[in-house]
Amino acid sequence: MKLLIRLLYLATVYSFLTLATRAETTAAPYFHIASSGDAAGETLPLKSSKATVSIDGTIARATLEQTYANNGDKPIEAIYVFPASTRAAVHGMTLTTGGKTIAARIREKTVAKAEYETAKSQKKTAALLEEERPNVFQMSVANILPGDDIKVRVEWSETVPAVDGTYEFVMPTVVGPRYGHGSGEPAENWTANPHLHQGKASPAGFQMAVSLNTALPLAEVVCPSHPVKIEFKSKTAANTALDTKSGEEAANRDFILRWKLGQDRVDAGLLLHRGESENHFLLQVEPPKRATPDLIPPRDYVFVLDVSGSMTGFPLNVAKDLLRDLTKVLRTEDTFNIVTFSGGNEVFSEQPVRSLPEEVERARNFIDKHQAGGGTELGEALKIAMNLPGGETSARSIVVVTDGFIGFDKEVIGLIRSHLGTSNLFAFGIGTSVNRHLIEGMARAGQGEPFIVTQPAEVKETASRFEPGARQGPRVGGGLRAFRHRALAASGCLRQQAADHHRQVERRTEGPHRRARHRGKWRGV
C-alpha cells in the first residue's frame, strides 16, 4: 500500500474582500465544500469545539481544538471560516486525520498557496490556513478521505485590554456576514461564509475553560455571555468553566469573561516567569480612574448611527436605547449632532446643537423614527461627520454606533487616520457577535476607546462609562519607571542585557492603566 503523505501549510494573509449582499442562512461553524462535481454540496460538519485559555496578568494564551467529519463517500476539498480574537497572534497549528498528526509550517502567502496546490494535485491531504482579516481565519483542506475525522488545533496569544478598571477577554464563536459597498476586488466570497444568525442553535458541542492569574487581588470575575462555574484558587487566581448542566446553547454567541482588580487607590503588582535562557516579569500599575468634572472642557459630539439592514431588530433597538442614554451625559455647555446611515445618510442639523432639554428631546424623536434597511455605507457617513461644522472652542468627539459588518474595514480605518484631524472617535459595537476588529480598529485610529454592548442590560452601564470624566485619569509614567527599578532590585536582578531589544516598556493610551514588561536575566529569588 502506498504511503499517504499528508502535508500542512500555514500562511498568514491579510486580504480585504468585498461581500456579496445576499442573505446568509447556513449555521456556523461549518465547512463549505469547495470540490467540483458530485462532492460539491456534501456536508463536512464541525462535531465539537474545545477552548482552553491561560491568562497571566494581561497576556492570554489560547488553544482551540476542533473536530470535523467527512460524512460523504469520496475525497473532498473543503473551506472553513472561523472567528478569532482581534489581537490574536497565531503561533501554532496541527491537523490530525487518518491517524497522522502534522504540524504547521509558516510560509509567505504566494509560496504557501503554491505548495498547497501542488500537494492537492498530487492527491495528498493538505491544509492551508489564511488570515482573511485580523479576526477571521479561513482554512482550506484538500483530499479529505471519506469517513475521516479531521482534528484541528490552533494556538495563539493576545493581550487583554482594560477599560475603566474592567479587563475583558473574548473568545469569538460566530462569524457574521460582511456588507460590501460594491467597490474593490470581485469577491472570491469568503465573506459569503456560513454564519450563525443571532440566537440560533449551533450544531456542534462547545467547551470552554479559563485559568486566570493576576498580579493584584481580584475584586470580581463575571461572565455576562454564558452560565459558568467560577472557582477562586487564591486572592489573585480563579478558574472558570462553562456550566454544562445549565442546558443553555453555548456556541451561538461569543464567550466573554470580565474581571476587576480590588483597589481604590494607586496599586501595583508583579508577575515573574522563569525561562530556560531568559526570564520575564510583568508589572501592573493601576491608579484611580476618574478626573473631577471641573477639569473637563466643553465638547462637541457627533453621533453616527447605523440603521442598515444588518441592524434589524435587537441591534437597532439596543442602539437607539444606547444613544438615548448617551445624550444624558451631555452637559449644557456641550453641543451635538447626529448622522444616520444605511445605503444613504441623514443629518439631524446643519449646525451643532446646544444640549438643551428641548433639543435633546427633538434628537431622540429623530432617532426613534428610523427603521433598519439597506446597505452599510459607513465610510460616507464618517466623511460627513468629520466635515460637519463645530464649535470654535469645543473639542470634538465622533461616536460611531454599529455592528461593524462591512467588508472594507481597512478603508474605513485608513479614512479615520487620515481625515480625523484634531477630533477623536469612540466606537460602540452592538449585538451578540460584532466585528470587533473594526470596532477596536476605528477607536484605535481615532485615539478613542471601543465599547461593546451585547445585551440590553448593558446599555446604561456602557453609557455611563462613556462619561468624559471616565476617560481621563492621573498620569503615572514617572511612578511606573521608579517602581520598575525597585521591582527589578526586589526580584534579585543582578545582570541585565544592555541592548535595547532586551527591554520594552509599553504605555497604554486607553484609560489610565499602565504596564511594564522586562526581558533579561537575573539570579536569586
| pLDDT mean across residues, the chain | 72
Do 313 and 241 share a structural domain? no
Q: How many CB atoms lie within 10 A of CB 69?
A: 16
Do 511 and 449 share a structural domain? no
What is the structure's pLDDT at 211? Answer: 96
Q: Identify the CATH number of the domain in which residue 181 sits.
A: 2.60.40
Tell me if 108 is assigned to some domain.
yes
Mean pLDDT of 395-404: 88
What is this structure's pTM? 0.54
Q: What percent of the chain has pLDDT over 90?
A: 16
Tell me if 525 is assigned to some domain.
no
Order of strands, edge to edge, in the sheet holding 514-520? 267-274, 279-286, 514-520, 503-504
Q: What is the pLDDT of residues 456-509, one digit of tens each?
A: 888 878 877 776 443 443 333 333 433 444 344 333 332 333 232 233 333 233
> Range with the lowest mean pLDDT among 27-31, 103-107, 477-481?
477-481
Tell me if 12 is assigned to some domain.
yes
Q: Identify the CATH number of the domain in which residue 428 sits.
A: 3.40.50.410
What is the structure's pLDDT at 409? Answer: 87
Do 302 and 160 share a structural domain? no
Tell me if 302 is assigned to some domain.
yes
pLDDT tops 90 at residue 133? no
Do 228 and 95 share a structural domain? yes
What is the structure's pLDDT at 370? Answer: 87
Number of domains in the chain: 3
What is the structure's pLDDT at 138? Answer: 65
Q: Where are the beta strands (DSSP E) in 13-121?
A: 31-33, 46-56, 59-69, 76-83, 89-97, 100-103, 106-107
Q: Do 295 and 274 contact (CB within 8 A), yes or no?
A: no
Instruction: Report the C-alpha gap between 498 and 490 in whole angstroms.
Output: 19
Do 28 and 124 share a structural domain? yes
Do 156 and 66 share a structural domain? yes
Higher per-residue pLDDT: 514 or 74 = 74
Do 284 and 244 share a structural domain? no
Do 106 and 199 share a structural domain? yes
Instruction: Report the C-alpha gap between 195 and 174 in whole angstroms.
Output: 7
What is the structure's pLDDT at 101? Answer: 79
Do 218 and 359 share a structural domain? no
Side chain identity at residue 127, one-letter code: A
Mean pLDDT of 199-218: 78
What is the structure's pLDDT at 115? Answer: 79
What range does the domain containing 90 cover? 6-259
pLDDT tops 60 at residue 72? yes
Mean pLDDT of 233-251: 79
pLDDT tops 80 at residue 362? yes
pLDDT tops 60 at residue 92? yes
Do 298 and 168 share a structural domain? no
Mean pLDDT of 208-226: 92
Tell me if 333 is assigned to some domain.
yes
Side chain identity at residue 134, one-letter code: P
Tell me if 186 is assigned to some domain.
yes
pLDDT tops 90 at residue 130? no
DSSP-assigned beta bridge partners for residue 133: 136
Tell me if 1 is assigned to some domain.
no
CA distances in angstroms from 224 to 242, 427, 454, 458, listed in the order given: 12, 20, 9, 9
What is the structure's pLDDT at 60? Answer: 93
pLDDT tops 50 at residue 269? yes
What does the block give as the cell for 255?
Answer: 464567550
Do 329 and 207 share a structural domain? no
Tell me if 164 is assigned to some domain.
yes
Mark which of 259, 275, 308 sits at the end of a domain: 259
Do 153 and 169 share a structural domain? yes
What is the structure's pLDDT at 91? Answer: 81
pLDDT tops 80 at residue 345? yes
Q: How many CB atoms lie within 10 A of CB 47?
A: 14
Q: Model confidence at 37, in pLDDT bands (50, 70, 90)? A: low
